[in-house]
Amino acid sequence: MTAQSNPNQVIPGSNKPKKRGIRTFLNHQTLRRLSQIGVGSFITYLIVRNALIGENSGIATTSPEAYCPFGGLETLYKYITTGTSFVSHTHLSNVVMLIAVLVVALLFRSAFCGWLCPLGYLQDLVSKVSGFLQKRIPGLRRGISSLKEKGTRLAVLDRYLRYLKYLVLLWAVGGAAVFGYMVFRDFDPWSALINIAEFSFTPGLIILIITLIASIFIERPWCRYACPLGAASGLLGKLSPTNLKRDANVCTSCKICTKTCPMGLKIHDVTTVKSVDCVTCLECVDACPINGALEVKIGLPVIGK
Ligand code: SF4
Ligand code: SF4
């Protein structure tokens, strides 16, 4: 009988618990938080700066919009066909950012979403604060748990809602190519956030508020269901040599990895995480208590669902 078929069986010398120590403080999550905070601080600086002193019309890169890689995707068609011009609100810097994100996707799958994207970090923050308060306020925990229980009846929708982001991708990129302007901009929660100082009531602002409220109950709702950049990055990431592998001979099927995954992926019963929705956050790897059960491996791309 294998360790997988009997979760309680311990194979001597194989499924040893991980050693904890200095690495606990220097693990992937510390580095990830530092990189998220770094990017988030830079964008916050640009947002505050623009709100206080306005954009310097001579230097496009003082606008936070100039750093949006998705703007690069929206303007790509116009840039390629004209060779010089961009759809409004985008610059060459957006194309450069897009290329950087695509290179990251080719190397490390959607690591941009897990390690750098400020909107992803904002959702992480709301979920962490929600978890922190639930641990300390039993009434709040009971209320949220009962709402979550009601929500599990809609869990079947989760699988299908994840396809929504590809439609958003098609609409945003196709719309910009056909009409020559960013059709998605008014609906984009990121655009609403970086232009928050303008106090304009757009559909994007409503989507941003819904996203942040939903993050109290479910982790990364925008990334799971609607983000067009995550959709593009996830698809390209399929060609990446970086794979997350579970060793069924060592794994105890404790399901801690699955419970930890912010993207709601089932990890404990696959041998390779192939989902386009994986944001390479490595929370599952850090949470796994067994040495060698779940590891990042470099190899040939693993295509498939
Ligand atoms: S599978 Fe692991 S690395 Fe991928 S999103 Fe889930 S927790 Fe993060
Ligand atoms: S956390 Fe996941 S990979 Fe690690 S032992 Fe538990 S089920 Fe296996």
Taking only the tens place, the pLDDT of each residue in 180-201 is 889 999 999 999 998 887 778 8
Query: Residue 141 has what pLDDT?
Result: 82
Q: How confident is the model at residue 137 (pLDDT cuts 50, 70, 90)?
A: confident
**What are the DSSP E strand ranges found in the chain?**
242-246, 272-273, 294-298
For residue 6, the model assigns a pLDDT of: 45
| Ligand 2 geometric centre to CA of 157 (Å) | 26
Atom of ligand 2 nearest to the CA of 267: 2
Is the CB of residue 288 below 6 angstroms from any atom belonging to ligand 2?
A: yes
* Per-residue confidence (pLDDT) for residue 58, from 0 to 100: 52
Nearest CA to ligand 2 atom 5: 251
What separation in Å is there between the alpha carbon of 259 and the centre of ligand 2?
Answer: 10
Span of 114-123, 255-264, 295-304 with lowest mean pLDDT:
295-304
Residue 268 in contact with residue 253, Cβ under 8 Å? Answer: yes
Whether the pLDDT of residue 10 is over 70: the answer is no
- pTM assigned to the model: 0.86
* pLDDT at residue 127, as a whole number: 95
Provide the b/e sequence for 164-195 (b: ≥16 CB within 10 Å). Answer: ebeebbeebbebbbeeeebbbbebbbbbbbbb
CB of 253 shorter than 6 A to ligand 2:
yes
Lowest mean pLDDT among 78-92, 221-235, 240-254: 78-92
* pLDDT for 156 beyond 90: no
Q: Distances in Å between the alpha carbon of 14 and those of 5, 188, 194, 251, 295?
A: 15, 48, 49, 9, 14
Q: Whose CA is nearest to atom 4 of ligand 2?
A: 288
Q: Any idea which architecture 241-298 has in CATH? A: 2-Layer Sandwich (3.30)
Using pLDDT thresholds of 50, 70 and 90, give the confidence band for residue 15: low
Question: What are the boundaries of each domain within the chain?
Answer: 30-235, 241-298
Compute the average pLDDT of residues 275-281: 96
Using only the alpha carbons of the chain, give its radius of gyration: 21
pLDDT band at 21 (very low <50, low <70, confident <90, very high): low
What is the arithmetic mean of pLDDT over 22-49?
86
**Tokens (6 digits) for 249:** 């001979």
Q: What is the mean pLDDT of the chain?
A: 87
Q: What is the pLDDT of residues 196-233, one digit of tens each?
A: 877 788 999 999 999 999 999 999 999 999 999 999 99
- Alpha-helical regions (H) of the chain: 22-25, 28-53, 69-82, 92-108, 111, 118-136, 138-152, 155-161, 164-179, 189-194, 203-217, 221-225, 228-237, 256-260, 283-287
Distance 248 CA to ligand 2 centre (A): 9
Identify the CA nearest to 102 among candidates 57, 138, 72, 64.
72
Is residue 15 in contact with ligand 2, taking CB distance under 6 Å?
no
The C-alpha atoms of residue 292 and residue 15 are separated, in whole angstroms, by 7
Find the distance separating the first CA and the last CA of the chain, reported in whole Å: 29
Protein residues whose CB sits closer than 6 Å to any atom of ligand 1: 244, 260-261, 263, 265, 267, 273, 278-284
The mean pLDDT of 122-127, rounded to a whole number, is: 97
| Residue-level pLDDT at 7 | 43
Q: pLDDT-derived band of residue 8, with 50, 70 and 90 as boundaries?
A: very low
pLDDT at 67 over 80: yes
Does residue 266 have a pLDDT over 70?
yes
88 CA to centre of own chain = 26
Secondary structure class of 246 (helix, strand, coil): strand
Q: Average pLDDT, stretch 245-263?
A: 96
**Higher confidence at residue 64 or residue 282?**
282
> Bridge-partner residues for 297, per DSSP?
243
Residue 4: predicted pLDDT: 42
176 close to 77: Cβ distance less than 8 angstroms: yes
pLDDT of res. 19? 62
pLDDT of residue 190: 93
Q: Using CA atoms, how far apart are residues 197 and 216, in angstroms rounded to an integer? A: 24
